[in-house]
């Protein structure tokens, strides 16, 4: 029987710390995203408040649908609030000068990863390890 040749895993190239210009680009994108999310959250809260004031006039069928809508709105707000927290944390790391370093191994996080996920706190290797640990 022929043996399959096992190919070694491709090694990731060590990342270099992202430059100040990239960090500034990401900082501006994070600030913009923060403002957009803040406006969306405030708008959703206003809509929920306005909807709650009109409940006393609604019939029972409307109230059932409203409850589902309200639950969905709360979940969206929860997700958006968590993202705002991540953005604030990333902005704090930029200010502290620790942005772009993995919180686990302290090696630089690849610039492409930071551009795709600007509030990443782990390099790809540590993120994978973390996910494997969570699965077990």
The enclosing domain of 64 has a CATH number of 1.20.120.910
Closest CA to 109 of 26, 33, 35, 30: 26
The span from the CA of 96 to the CA of 90, in Å, is 10
Residue 55 included in any domain: yes
CA-to-CA dists, residue 122 to 1, 67, 83, 105, 129, angstroms: 43, 38, 16, 8, 10
The span from the CA of 121 to the CA of 112, in Å, is 13
Residue 14 included in any domain: no
Tokens of 44: 């959703």
Residue 53 included in any domain: yes
Residue 110 included in any domain: yes
Statement: the pTM of the whole predicted model exceeds 0.85: no
The four Cα atoms 109, 112, 114, 115 give a dihedral, to 10 degrees, of 170
Structural domain total, the chain: 1
User: Which are the contacts of 126, defined by CB distance < 8 A and separation ≥ 6?
Assistant: 102, 103, 104, 105
Residue 112 included in any domain: yes
Residue 4 included in any domain: no
Residue 1 included in any domain: no
- The range of the structural domain enclosing residue 88 comes to 20-135
Residue 5 included in any domain: no
- pLDDT tens for residues 76-100? 999 999 999 999 999 999 999 999 9
The span from the CA of 82 to the CA of 75, in Å, is 11
- pLDDT tens for residues 8-48? 444 555 678 899 999 999 999 999 999 999 999 999 888 87
* Percent of the chain residues topping a pLDDT of 70: 76
């Amino acid at each position: 029987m022929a043996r399959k040749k096992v190919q070694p895993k491709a090694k990731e190239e060590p990342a270099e710390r992202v430059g100040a210009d990239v960090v500034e680009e990401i900082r501006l994108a994070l600030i913009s995203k923060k403002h957009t999310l803040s406006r969306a959250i405030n708008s959703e809260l206003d809509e929920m408040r306005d909807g709650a004031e009109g409940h006393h006039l609604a019939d029972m069928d409307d109230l059932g649908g409203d409850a589902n809508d309200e639950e969905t709105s709360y979940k969206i707000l929860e997700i958006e609030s968590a993202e705002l927290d991540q953005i604030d944390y990333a902005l704090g790391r930029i200010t502290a000068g620790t942005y772009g370093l993995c919180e686990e191994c302290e090696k630089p996080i690849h610039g492409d990863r930071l551009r795709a996920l600007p509030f990443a706190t782990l390099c790809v290797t540590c993120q994978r390890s973390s996910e494997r640990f969570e699965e077990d």
